[in-house]
Amino acid sequence: MTELSASVRTRSRRRPSHAWIHVVLAVGGFIMALPFLWQIIMSLSTNAEVQSVTPVFWPAHLQWGNYVQVFERMPFLSQLRTSIVITVIRTLAQIVLCTLAGYAFARMRFPFKGILLAIVLSILLVPSQAYLISQYQIVQSLGWLNTVLGLVAPGLFSAFGTFLMRTAFINLPRELEEAARIDGANPIQIFWRVMLPLARPSISALAITTVLFSWNELLWPLVVTTDSAQMPLAAGLATIAGDVTINYPVLMAASLLAMAPVLIAFIVMQRRVIDGLATSGLK
């Protein structure tokens, strides 16, 4: 018994301690969260404390009124509603269109398939600023300036989403599709009942990237909207930052309120978000 306990103590001494790993992870996590914590502190400070030459790491009095001024200086609720509508419509549209297009390019045979796929993928090589003027002229001719339709239209479909879903469907076993075809399933039933459920991680990754892009898009809303009430939150924050005199605490408070819906959604769907990104290989 004594020899057994001595061997256990010897093994425990030889076993390396993982405490330093937790210390490194804790320090790294604090460094990553520091800008967010500093933003919270700035939102509760006065403008003089923020612009002070000597850094003020904690305000003398918490200025909760900065969050009230956000609703006084910008139509926050209207812009929040616009951002939510744009994000929901774009996300649903890309899930439907990119999933169908990706499945067609991956599993179906039709004329000029390679040429059409090359054309779709070539869009990824062209920066979005290159066709900004043409998109604006189309939206202007349709009378969609300062409307949700004008904001939503360019993001209903994406070449990236098509490429992502095509890769997901190609990697699925072809034997499942052949077995369903032998059982008498038609192409629509094969897509809906067999292939689509297996591609849920990639669909989640597509939805996540679309939500983040739509919520944070800045250039196109600034071009197509001039009415602050019709702008999404990203463009509304840019107009506040472009004032002659910038109230930085109010700007930080507005930024925190703007990121709150996405942050809450990430906390609620954290496991699905991580699984979707890990399965699809996105970073």
Residue the block writes with tokens 């930080």: 252
For residues 251 and 238, give the distance between their C-alpha atoms in angstroms, rounded to a whole number: 9
pLDDT of residue 188: 86
Q: Would you say residue 94 has pLDDT above 90?
A: yes
Of residues 1 and 245, more confidently modeled: 245
Q: Would you say residue 281 has pLDDT above 70?
A: no
Q: How far is CA 244 from the centre of its chain?
A: 31
Q: What is the pLDDT of residues 131-155, one digit of tens each?
A: 889 999 999 999 999 999 999 998 8
Domains of the chain: 18-63 (no CATH), 69-280 (1.10.3720.10)
Prediction pTM value: 0.82
- From 150, 279, 121, select the one nearest 208 (Cα to Cα): 279
Task: Give the length of the chain.
Answer: 283
pLDDT bracket for residue 108 (50, 70, 90)? confident
Q: What is the pLDDT of residues 235-246, one digit of tens each?
A: 988 888 766 677
Q: Which of 16-20, 94-98, 120-124 has the lowest mean pLDDT?
A: 16-20
Helices (H), 127-247: 132-141, 148-152, 159-170, 174-182, 187-189, 196-198, 200-216, 219-224, 233-241
Q: Would you say residue 8 has pLDDT above 60?
A: no
